[in-house]
Every structure is written in C-alpha cells, then in structure tokens.
Structure 1
Amino acid sequence: MENLLYIAALIAAIAFLVLCVGLAMTLFSLKKTLNSVSQTMAGLEGQLQGVTRETTDLLHKTNGLAADIQVKSEKLNTVVDAVKNVGESVNGLNTSVRRITSSISTEVERNEDKIAQVVQWSNVAFGIRDKWKEKKAIEEARAASTIRRNVNDTL
C-alpha cells in the first residue's frame, strides 16, 4: 500500500507538471497576444493623435469660414437694404409720374378747345409766313430779271 501511495504521489506530481506546462504555454500565448494588442493600441494612439490634430485644424478653418460668412452676410444685408431703398424710391417716382401724367391729361382735356384753336392759329400763321416768303422770292426774282435786262440794254 505504500507503493500505491508513492505511485499516486508520482501521478499527482506528473499531473501538476503537465498542468504547469499547459498553463505556461497558455500564458506565453497570452503574452504574445497582449504584445500584439499593445502594438496595435500604440499605432492607434499615433493615428488618433494625427486625426485629432487634423480635426482641430479643420475646426479652426471652419470657425474662420463661419466668421467670413458672417461678415459677408452683414455686407450683403446692407446691399439688400440699399436695393430695397432704391425700389422704394422708384416706386415713389412712379407714383409721382402717374400723378403728374394724370394732372396733365386732365388739364389737356379741360383745355382741349383752346389747344385746338392754338393749333389752328399756328397753321394760319405758318401759311401766312410761307405766302410771305413766296411773295418775297417772286419780287426778288423780278428785281433780278429787271437788273439783267437793264445791264443787257446798256451793253
């Protein structure tokens, strides 16, 4: 029975040795895996720093663009206000022109008879002037022809 006890102790020692070897192999494998994960994390950390830097730069550019857009928007608002004022001025001018046109039209209708008389008298005056010019041209032609006859008679 004593031998059985030694054999049992030997089997237990061998089992413990196999357990330790298996545990050691598992721990070495785990060590390799953790080293690989550590290297991957270090690479990710470097990439993340680059992304963070680029994101910060992009944020600064975006803020600059937003400020520029704000300034241009304010300038555009002044242009829009100016165009609105021009539109209001043109509208006022149109109203004034309509009022004046209406007033002139009313006055023309009221004085239509007088205007017709003025036009008739103007036509008469132009007719008299034309006849006067015609008469004067005939007299000058007669005088020129008389002078020519006198000159021819004296020669």
Structure 2
Amino acid sequence: MRFEIREDDLSGPEIQALLREHLAGMQADTPPESVHALPLEALRQPGITLWSAWRGDRLCGCGALKTLAPLHGELKSMRTHGAFLRQGVGQAVLDHILAQARARGLLRLSLETGTAPSFAAAHALYRRNGFLPCEPFADYRPDPHSLFMSRLL
C-alpha cells in the first residue's frame, strides 16, 4: 500500500496527538531516566525534520531525522498509528528518511530504541534495513533500557 509522505510542520492536531501517544508509550515501557523520545517542542528545533505518512486524510505514522554532525544523523520519533500497524507504514517512513539522509550527504544514520518486549517490531524493522547494534553515540550513555543501532548510508 502506498502512503503520501509529507514534511510536517507539527501544527496539525493529528500529528500532535500521535506524538503525545508516542511519548506516553515510551514513558509507559521505559524508566523515566531512560526515555529519549522528544516532546513536540524539541522536535521543532533547528536540525530536526519530521515527516508524516498519510493515506488520504488519515495520519498513518511519522518519523524524524536529526542532524548530529555534518555526516551523521539520528532517526527519531518513529511511530505508526495503531490503526495502521503491520501495513508497511514504518518501512515507508524509514525508506523516506534514508533517502533524505543520503540526499543531505549523511554517511551514517544511528538510532536509540528501547529494550522492552514492546520494541521487538522496531528492532526487526531496523535489522531488516541494515542497522546493527553499536555503542552509544552523541550524548547518549550506556543504559540497559537502550539499544543503540547504526548503519552506513
């Protein structure tokens, strides 16, 4: 199934609700000191672009790219709306972000995700797309509740 991927200015009620759901989900599955999901205001900072995936007028999911260094980016805020799980939303958003990262000249894309069983689908998606476990990057520190992954572009 096809999705329309749009750069999102974060002003719409649908994306704001999905990002609140994302943050709440991270907080429900992870101790507070290990939650690295960004709140809405932080996603508006320079160096972060968020895209949303749509089917018609229905928001299906989102994902963001944060520039860490001239050649290194971080995948942030990947979330699929519950009504669209297992329909390829995550793959579509990830494909778009990978293409955008390459177009921006990035050579590496990294991510941090949780280790709880609820993150298993995310781990599988990232592994299928060439992400491998790595050491903490940027300002992250070792954390038993975090899985760090990275891939070359």
- Fold match by TM threshold 0.5: no
Structure (1 or 2) with the greater helix fraction: 1
TM-score bracket, shorter-length normalisation? under 0.3
Greater relative contact order (Cα < 8 A, sep 6+) = 2
Q: What is the TM-score with the length of structure 2 in the denominator?
A: 0.14
Structure (1 or 2) with the greater strand fraction: 2
Structure showing greater Rg: 1
Q: What is the TM-score with the length of structure 1 in the denominator?
A: 0.14
